[in-house]
Amino acid sequence: MMQFIDLAAQYKHLKQRIDKRIQKVLEHGQYIMGPEVLELEEKLADYVGAKHAITCANGTDALTLAMMTLGVKEGDAVFCPTFTFFATAEVIAYEGATPVFVDSNPDTFNICPKDLEKRIQEVISKGELNPKAIIAVDLFGLPANYPEIEAIAHKYNLKLVEDAAQGFGGEINGKRAGSFGDIATTSFFPAKPLGCYGDGGAVFTNNDDFAALIKSYRVHGQGKDKYDNVRIGMNSRLDTIQAAILLEKLEEFPVELKARNVAADKYNAEFKGRYKTPFVPEGYFSSWAQYTLQSENREVVMGQFQEKSMPTMIYYGTCMHQQTAFEYLGYSDNDYPVATRLSKEVFSLPMHAYLSNLI
């Protein structure tokens, strides 16, 4: 059976380089914040086109660091898509703030700017919560509609966070994912477009004050040295060994990104007309974290793929407004018609950089 994401094929291809890099770390022994971490942060900032890249323990912590840095707290409303991975909404509630879910665009799967503005106006007119920030998600590798979302953030004086956990490598008119909003975040979970061999994440910003705060929060609210703590923070560093692995994977990333797009083009050619294929707007470039089709007969169609030994997965079968953990917010499916339909009709096909000769 074909692998849904073939990490073993990638390792086989990069084995010598990755093994050598790991060996170097074992020899110098600086397992925490070693030289590879700083080298990676410089290269990530360079790649993304952001002034600062600050690595951390995972993509969820990266979002939490963004929330802490923006001072998100109880009484604040933070807007995010209902059709996303749980972590996007979780970090809002974790700070004691209220997630306000937004419906999706049926073609791009991303947050719908029109519905976003509607929900912001609703929160303002109710007057119970302080509208504070937006977390937009680059779902399945496609950057969200930042031209319109940035205009809305500006109009309502909201901070904007880009959750690029799946979006790393994506672009809008040559501007890369990780460079949108006031703060952007990504994840190096193994299955993401740029993954390590464990957990990892990063935060990006052009704002020097934010960067200083993120660096402090990352290590116990550190002040002028290790034993000076000026705020309540967390312990969320990227392991040096993971940074070493990521340095080799980042080097190869542009080649892999091309291969993922070749695979997506092949899928598009094969499935156009039979299923609703993913839509990439003019000027946008996807890193294809997932290749996602839509069908009203999802179960039947997934069975047909299974018979041809092609595995399929559902991202996502449960929207945020349907999660048990968010029942207290009192939303119903009628509030989110598009996302609710997507959760019933989407399914994803295998996607990785070592796929194109298999399909």
Ligand X SMILES: *Cc1c(COP(=O)(O)O)cnc(C)c1O
Binding site for ligand X (CB under 6 A): 58-60, 84-85, 87-88, 137, 163, 165-166, 187, 189, 199, 201
Give the number of other CB atoms < 10 A from CB of residue 273.
Answer: 7
The three-state secondary structure class of 38 is helix
Q: Residue 58 Cβ, how far from ligand X at the closest point, in Å?
A: 4
* Residue number, 65 or 301, with CB nearest to ligand X: 65
CB-nearer residue toward ligand X: 115 or 163: 163
In terms of DSSP bridges, do strands 76-81 and 201-205 run parallel, antiparallel, or are they unpaired? Answer: unpaired
Q: Which of 100, 195, 83, 214 is nearest to 138 (CA)?
A: 83
Which is closer to ligand X, CB of 186 or CB of 205?
Answer: 186
- Residue 17 CB, nearest distance to ligand X (Å)? 23
Based on C-alpha coordinates, what's the Rg of the chain? Answer: 20
Which CB atom, from 18 or from 80, has the smaller least distance to ligand X?
80
Q: What angle do CA 147, 150, 152 make, to 5 degrees?
A: 110
Q: How far is the CB of 272 from ligand X (least distance, A)?
A: 26
Counting Cα atoms < 13 Å in the Cβ hemisphere of 169 gives 30
CB of 110 to ligand X, least distance (A): 11
Residue 211 to residue 204: CA distance in whole angstroms:
8
Q: What is the smallest separation between the CB atom of 166 and ligand X, expressed in angstroms?
A: 5
Structure tokens at 100: 């306000």
Here the tokens at position 337 are 């018609």
Nearest residue to ligand X, scored by beta-carbon proximity: 59
Token couple for 112:
């719908």
Output 135 or 259, the one with its CB closest to ligand X: 135
